[in-house]
A and B are shown apart, each in its own frame.
Chain A
């Protein structure tokens, strides 16, 4: 069943101070099935964030439309949870209050809110940190909170824009396993933007490769690796073959992007 349908979605930014307009995203079609984990891979500046922000309703397309669960989206809403690359926890709220932000907006009762918050605190391994301020947590813990905050709202689709981009390699690997574990248990529909090839393969069930500016989807590659996945899979022959293929796809784009 198709969860998310993107039809002819394009975005042209007007030129800055009389400059030429920038085509960030060429008209793109995309259908995402229920429970799919789609990774979007591409060099920086190819329009990945633009695509995700339009789906989130934070930016408007120049052409085309986005349909989620049969309804065309026209602005941001709690049915599309988002995790950003920058740390976007609310600094004046504790970890627990951050996770409860959307629940309060929904008007949930105190007892129910507390139960949901406690469940997500556990899922992202932050028990004992409920009453800390975001500043007191490491980057990885902050991003785990951000994931919990988005998931606690029970969105129809989860959007992640290079959520682990600012983390060191070891933390990043652990975060990938954590996110994958949650997905394997709860089967959310996910759009996950990254520029890291291994990450795109390891967590995804399908990978879209985007071309350099102006952005468009140049390859749509299924990732048939079995679940549950273990980090040792990263050294398996199947994984290596996929990695070789994606490296080939992305290399040409990186060369193009670097020439800009």
Chain B
């Protein structure tokens, strides 16, 4: 091992899998070996059995789908508002000066703390769930996109001006295509955070969803089910992250060249 020395794809995969193997081994040892009482932490076998039962007997697949729909819905709404606003703020300094102080403040408002208020305003329906995710994501995306666009290489902008681009052309033909890969990366990052907001939103006043299942299981002391729910979220995160990465690679081949 030397600093920054690359490794082969095969070894990378093997090492990544090795961690999971060791993790499950340690977990199995702690629980099946009797070091941790069953009511605090279920063993892997119980977890798998509970999980299977959730899927077959309790319609957990529908819960998973509704949670995915909430995350994606709230996140897409946030992106539709935040990306254009962020681009405008990055490109035009007066617009940035107008919004930036408020958004920097709003960014630190914890989305989870809004849950009780949003229930008052929007009831217990889907609107409330989407709003939690929207509030949690929108300010983060705006600020990161604005910073990114604002840091566009000046010499590229100047080159475009000398080629006859106008102000609108600079935004459309330089700022947006130049920053599109980073914007996609920002969306990937924030989508990960949106998953934490959705669970919080579902823990309170919800009748469906992964978070709802988790809170129900707590009442039953069913730690196997809770862990299964958490693992499902992790797996979905892993898959969506991978898909997002592949999409970015196909959309922006020039980054890989």
Contact = CB atoms under 8 A, between A and B. Distances in A.
Interface of A: 56-58, 75-78, 80-82, 84, 86, 88, 90-93, 101-102, 105-106, 132-133, 135-136, 146, 149-150, 153, 159
27 contacts: A56-B158, A57-B161, A75-B161, A76-B158, A76-B161, A77-B164, A78-B163, A78-B164, A81-B163, A82-B158, A84-B159, A88-B159, A90-B160, A90-B174, A91-B178, A91-B254, A92-B178, A92-B180, A92-B252, A101-B165, A102-B164, A105-B165, A105-B169, A133-B254, A133-B257, A136-B257, A146-B159
B169 A58 contact: no
Contacts of A78: 162-164
Nearest to B165: A105
A101 B160 contact: yes
Top 3 A-B pairs ranked by shortest CB distance?
A78-B164, A102-B163, A76-B161
Q: Which among B174, B180, B257 has the greatest number of chain A C-beta atoms within 10 A?
A: B257
B177 interface: yes
A84 B173 CA distance: 19
A105 B163 contact: yes
Interface residues of B, number: 20
Given A58-B158, A133-B254, A135-B254, A92 B177 contact: yes
Contact of B164 (A88, A90, A93, A153): A153
Q: Which among A92, A133, A135, A149 has the greatest number of chain B C-beta atoms within 10 A?
A: A92
B162 A81 contact: yes
A58 B257 contact: no
Interface string B201-217: 00000000000000000
A153 B254 CA distance: 24
B184 to A, nearest CB: 13
B156 interface: yes
Contacts of B163: 78, 81, 101-102, 105, 149-150, 153
Contacts of B253: 133
Given A86-B155, A90-B156, A92-B252, A135 B257 contact: yes
Given A90-B174, A133-B257, A82 B160 contact: no
Nearest to B161: A76
Contact of B162 (A58, A90, A91, A106): A58
A147 to B, nearest CB: 12
Contacts of A90: 156, 159-160, 174, 177-178
Interface in B151-193: 155-156, 158-165, 169, 173-174, 177-178, 180
A106 B257 contact: no
A136 B156 CA distance: 18
Given A91-B254, A105-B169, A136-B257, A80 B162 contact: yes
Given A78-B163, A153-B164, A84 B254 contact: no
Contacts of B160: 90, 101
Contacts of A102: 163-164
Given A82-B158, A90-B159, 12 more contacts: A56-B158, A56-B162, A81-B162, A82-B162, A90-B156, A91-B254, A92-B180, A93-B254, A105-B163, A133-B254, A135-B254, A153-B164
A49 B177 CA distance: 28
A78 B164 CA distance: 4
A92 B156 CA distance: 11
Nearest to A86: B155
A149 B162 CA distance: 10
A58 B161 contact: yes
Nearest to A91: B254
B192 to A, nearest CB: 26
A146 B252 CA distance: 22
B159 A82 contact: yes
Contacts of A57: 161-162
Q: Which among B159, B252, B253 has the greatest number of chain A C-beta atoms within 10 A?
A: B159
